[in-house]
C-alpha cells in the first residue's frame, strides 16, 4: 500500500487510483463505483445539512418493505443513490433496504459485472433531533450469466464482497471504505467539495472501552445474553466495565467503536427472534470493514461474513467491534464461559474463563 506523509493532501480519487495500480488486471469499474458512491454521499450530505430548512424532515407517510415508517430523507437519499449509480455501466442491478425488490438497470444503459446493496440513510428517524445518520453500502461481483443481475447475485455470503463502506453525516461528513486492502477513512472538506484521506489504515483497539446496546429489550433477552451483558458491565467475570454509549444510529455507534474501541450488540430476543438488523445492507458491509480493521463481527454463533443469505431483506443478530468483546460474546452465547471469580481483572487479561 502507498504510504502518505502527514502533510500530503490525498483525495479519495487519488487514493483509489493508487490502490488500483497495485492490480494490473483491474478494469477501473470498481473504482468508478466508488467514485459514484462518493458523489452520491456529497449530495446526501448537502440534503442532511439543509433538512431543517427545506421541509424534508419527518415522516414520508409510507412504509418500507420491513413495515417501518419511511422518512422523507430516506426516500430522497434512496433516489439520489439510484440515479447516481444506474447509468454508469458498472452495475447490473441494485438492492436497497427501502425497496421491496431488486432495482434493475434501466433499458438503454450498459450493464456491468457488479451488484450494489445499500441502506440509503441509516438512523434517519433521528434526523429531527440532529443525531448523526449514515449511508451503508456493499459491492459484490455478478455470478450469474445474462445481462441483468438476479436475486442469486445478491444472495452471496459477505465474504464475497469486493468493496464495502459507510458514510457518516455528523459534525463532519466522513466516508470509510475497504476493498480488502485495509479500512480507510476520508473526511469531506466543504471548502473544496472533496473527500480527503484523514484516517489511513484504521485499526480498531483489540479491547474495547464502549458498549452500544439498547437495553430496553433486556426483559426479552435470553439468559445467555443477560449473562453477556453482565460481563460487559463488569458485574461478572472480574472484567473492567465498559462505558455504555448508544444513540440508536448504527453508523454513529459503529463509527465511534471502530475508532475508539468497543462493541455494538443487537441480540436476537423474544420479539425479534431472527434479530433486527439487515444482513445484506448493514451487517455484511460493516463486518467486512471491521475485519479489515482487526476486529470481529458475529451473529453470536458464527462469523457474519460466513452466513449464507436466503432472503433479500434477511435480518440477523449482530455483535461487532473489538475482537476481545466479540469473542467473549461467542463464548458466552455458546455456553462455554464459566464464572472466573472476583478480582478486578482487565478484559483481555484473564477476565473470563472458558469451559472446554
Give the integer Cα–Cα distance in Å for 343 and 356: 22
Q: Determine whether the annotation assigns residue 236 to a binding site.
A: no
Give the integer Cα–Cα distance in Å for 31 and 19: 9
| Interaxial angle between packed helices 323-333 and 223-232, expressed in degrees from 0 to 180 and rounded to the nearest 10 | 150
- For residues 44 and 135, is the Cβ–Cβ distance under 8 A? yes
- In the chain, which ranges are continuous DSSP H helix? 12-20, 29-49, 72-85, 151-154, 223-232, 250-260, 284-292, 323-333
Q: Determine whether the annotation assigns residue 282 to a binding site.
A: yes
Residue with grid cell 459514484, as numbered in its chain: 36
Give the integer Cα–Cα distance in Å for 353 and 338: 6
Give the integer Cα–Cα distance in Å for 161 and 141: 7
> How far separated are the first and last CA of the chain, in Å rounded?
41
Q: Determine whether the annotation assigns residue 121 to a binding site.
A: yes
Q: Determine whether the annotation assigns residue 29 to a binding site.
A: no
Q: Determine whether the annotation assigns residue 20 to a binding site.
A: no
Q: What is the dihedral of CA 45, 50, 56, 59, to 10 degrees?
A: 70
Q: Which three cell numbers stand for residue 229?
A: 451483558
Give the integer Cα–Cα distance in Å for 62 and 29: 35
Q: Determine whether the annotation assigns residue 295 to a binding site.
A: no
Q: What is the dihedral of CA 326, 329, 330, 333, to 10 degrees?
A: -170
Q: Determine whether the annotation assigns residue 97 to a binding site.
A: yes
Q: Determine whether the annotation assigns residue 223 to a binding site.
A: no
Give the integer Cα–Cα distance in Å for 210 and 193: 33
Q: What value does the CA radius of gyration of the chain take, rounded to a whole number of Å?
A: 20
Look at residues 264, 273, 220 and name the one whose alpha carbon lies nearest to residue 244: 264
Q: Determine whether the annotation assigns residue 123 to a binding site.
A: yes
Dihedral (CA of 244, 207, 282, 132) sign: positive
As annotated, the binding site includes 97, 119, 121-125, 214, 246, 276, 282
As annotated, the binding site for substrate includes 122-125, 214, 246, 276
As annotated, the binding site for Mg(2+) includes 97, 119, 121-122, 282
Amino acid at each position: 500500500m502507498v504510504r502518505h506523509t502527514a502533510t500530503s493532501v490525498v483525495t479519495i480519487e487519488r487514493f483509489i487510483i493508487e490502490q488500483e495500480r497495485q492490480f494490473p488486471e483491474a478494469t477501473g469499474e470498481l473504482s468508478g463505483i466508488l467514485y459514484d458512491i462518493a458523489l452520491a454521499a456529497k449530495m446526501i450530505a448537502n440534503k442532511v445539512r439543509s433538512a431543517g430548512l427545506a421541509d424534508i424532515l419527518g415522516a414520508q407517510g409510507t412504509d418500507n418493505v420491513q413495515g417501518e415508517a419511511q422518512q422523507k430523507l430516506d426516500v430522497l437519499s434512496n433516489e439520489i443513490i439510484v440515479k447516481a449509480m444506474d447509468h454508469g455501466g458498472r452495475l447490473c442491478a441494485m438492492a436497497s433496504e427501502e425497496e421491496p425488490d431488486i432495482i434493475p438497470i434501466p433499458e438503454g444503459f450498459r450493464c456491468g459485472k457488479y451488484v450494489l446493496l445499500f441502506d440509503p440513510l441509516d438512523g434517519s428517524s433521528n434526523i429531527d433531533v440532529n443525531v448523526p445518520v449514515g449511508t451503508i453500502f456493499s459491492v459484490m461481483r455478478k455470478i450469474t450469466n445474462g445481462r441483468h443481475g438476479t436475486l442469486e447475485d445478491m444472495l452471496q455470503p459477505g465474504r464475497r464482497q469486493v468493496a464495502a463502506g459507510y458514510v457518516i453525516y455528523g459534525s463532519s461528513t466522513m466516508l470509510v471504505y475497504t476493498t480488502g486492502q485495509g479500512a480507510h477513512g476520508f473526511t469531506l472538506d466543504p471548502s473544496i467539495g472533496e473527500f480527503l484521506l484523514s484516517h489511513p489504515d484504521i485499526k480498531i483497539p483489540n479491547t474495547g472501552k464502549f458498549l452500544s446496546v439498547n437495553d430496553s429489550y433486556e426483559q426479552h433477552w435470553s439468559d445467555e445474553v443477560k449473562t453477556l451483558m453482565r460481563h460487559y458491565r463488569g458485574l461478572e467475570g472480574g472484567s473492567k466495565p465498559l462505558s455504555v454509549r448508544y444513540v440508536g444510529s448504527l453508523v454513529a455507534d459503529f463509527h465511534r467503536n471502530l475508532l475508539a474501541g468497543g462493541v455494538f450488540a443487537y441480540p436476537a430476543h423474544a420479539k425479534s427472534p431472527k434479530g433486527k438488523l439487515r444482513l445484506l445492507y448493514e451487517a455484511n458491509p460493516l463486518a467486512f470493514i471491521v475485519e479489515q480493521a482487526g476486529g470481529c463481527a458475529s451473529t453470536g454463533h458464527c462469523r457474519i461474513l460466513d452466513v449464507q443469505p436466503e432472503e433479500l431483506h434477511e435480518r440477523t443478530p449482530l455483535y461487532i467491534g473489538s475482537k476481545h468483546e466479540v469473542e467473549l460474546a461467542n463464548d458466552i452465547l455458546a455456553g462455554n464461559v464459566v464464572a472466573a471469580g472476583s478480582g478486578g481483572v482487565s478484559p483481555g487479561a484473564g477476565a473470563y474463563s472458558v469451559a472446554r
